[in-house]
Structure 1
């Protein structure tokens, strides 16, 4: 029993030490939770504007998903701030980083990403629900079909760009994420760390 107790105590100590390596993560400057939508974007902008003018910034998020374009917009804000100010900006995923949350995480280099224990990432393909009604001259019908096809093809390109950013610098290949995404790929925090998709788990 003493051996088990000592082992459990060591696990607890290792976990505490791991968290203590990254003191900045204890107090994120930006807290995002819920659906990724325009309301989250507004909150993101307000909190970012209230962050300190100097030093590193920590952005924490917990989400089951939402609008991928809003996620890309927030990610672009992070990229621009990093490029223009050369400030360190850290990502902290909590509990759930699903769908659009993973899209947002892709804006951060892998060595700037962290997850809390028990957090899961979920990666999937973009979804579309569209009804096409054809009516009128035949040439107009062809144009309508081509427009829908172009929309899908362009969305696939955007999706693949996001997958590329997400796995860049990790041990996950683009081919792997593209293959696993259709089945809703869930990645636990420790697995994400082992695959170098994130720097560490706290």
Structure 2
């Protein structure tokens, strides 16, 4: 796993990375091997990461094969979603790996101009968007903390302030199975 992963998530997670992962995952599915993922990412598109995580979960559930992930250097932001797709016992980090767990950022101006009912509808739509985003974010955080020593609420409190975790701390918290030495 350390030197010959059959799927890599490198660089900023964008549509190109998602396409490459889907292509590589198909090759793994078509072969008979277990899934060995190497991840090193500064983060990127949260929805793209959710798609990658979904495909990994489906592979693990339906292929009858094992899957393992190794965080090499940085597993930031959207990369946490991919890492969390694997059960805790299948997550590993290199000794100097750093995780960044934070809440999804949003920058949006809300302009209300018009009849009150129309303005209320705009507010309802934006609130629904925020509530959906929070629910999806919680799903990924729940996957990450499952079987660990940290609760969802504790993780969310840390995530509010950009929580950087060194490999040793992630191991202490039970977020990963071990450190690959």
**TM-score (structure 2 length as normaliser):** 0.94
CA–CA distance in 2 between the matches of 1:120 and 1:114? 12
Does 2:62 correspond to 1:84? Answer: yes
In structure 2, what is the Cα distance between the partners aligned to 1:57 and 1:126? Answer: 28
Higher helix fraction (1 or 2)? 1
Q: Structure 2 matches for 1:6-155, cutoff 5 A?
A: 24-51=1-28, 53-155=31-133
Gaps of 5+ in 1: 1-23
Secondary structure, aligned partner of 1:177: helix
Q: What root-mean-square deviation, in Å, do the aligned CA atoms of Structure 1 and Structure 2 show?
A: 1.2
- Listed one character per residue, the Cα deviations across residues 18-38 of structure 1 (whole Å, up to 9, x for unaligned) are xxxxxx333101122111111
1:140 and 1:33 map into 2 onto residues whose CA distance is: 44
The aligned counterpart of 1:10 is none
Question: C-alpha separation between the residues in 1 aligned to 2:172 and 2:165?
Answer: 11
In the alignment, the residues of structure 1 paired with residue 9 and residue 136 of structure 2 have an alpha-carbon distance, to the nearest angstrom, of 24
Give the TM-score of the pair, scaled to structure 1. 0.85
In the TM superposition, residue 57 of structure 1 has moved relative to its aligned partner by 1.4
Higher-Rg structure is: 1
Aligned pairs, how many?
Answer: 179
How many angstroms apart in 1 are the aligned matches of 2:51 and 2:178? 25
SS of residue paired to 2:136: helix
Distance (whole Å) between structure 1 residues aligned to residue 150 and residue 32 of structure 2: 34
Q: Find runs of 4+ consecutive structure 1 residues off by over 6 angstroms.
A: none
Once the two structures are TM-superposed, the CA of residue 61 in structure 1 deviates from its matched residue by 1.0
Measure the CA separation in 2 of the matches of 1:49 and 1:150: 35
Structure 2, gaps ≥5 residues long: none
Higher RCO, Cα 8 Å, sep 6+: 2
